[in-house]
């Protein structure tokens, strides 16, 4: 039986697409600040104290699974 001594992180980097203008941005899943689209200023990600509230379309996970 193999035991992992180092726990895997729950956080990840995500590629999200703005619903208004289709601009793509890489964001952190546990961000500590609100992230707005640089093109149309639409709110993409809201901070929540834990896992962020994502208001955009998640395209893919960027870091290794």
Q: Is residue 26 part of a domain?
A: no
Per-position pLDDT tens, the chain of length 65: 667 788 888 889 999 999 999 999 999 999 999 999 999 999 999 998 889 999 999 999 987 65
The domain of 50 spans 31-65
Q: Is the pTM of this model over 0.85?
A: no
Task: Assess if residue 62 is contained within a domain.
Answer: yes
Q: Kindly state whether residue 57 falls inside one of the protein's structural domains.
A: yes
**The two structure tokens encoding residue 24:** 């793509």
pLDDT number for residue 54: 94
> How would you write 37-52 as a 3-class SS string?
CCCCCCEEEECCCCCC
Task: Answer whether residue 50 is part of any domain.
Answer: yes
For the chain, the maximum distance between any two Cα atoms, rounded to a whole number of angstroms, is 52
Domain count, the chain: 1
Q: Is residue 47 part of a domain?
A: yes
| pLDDT on residue 24 | 94
């Amino acid at each position: 039986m193999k035991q992992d001594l180092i726990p895997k992180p729950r956080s990840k980097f995500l590629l999200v697409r703005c619903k208004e203008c289709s601009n793509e941005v890489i964001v952190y899943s546990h961000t500590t600040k609100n992230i707005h689209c640089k093109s149309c200023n639409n709110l993409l990600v809201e901070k929540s104290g834990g896992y962020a509230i994502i208001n955009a379309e998640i395209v893919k996970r960027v870091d290794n699974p």
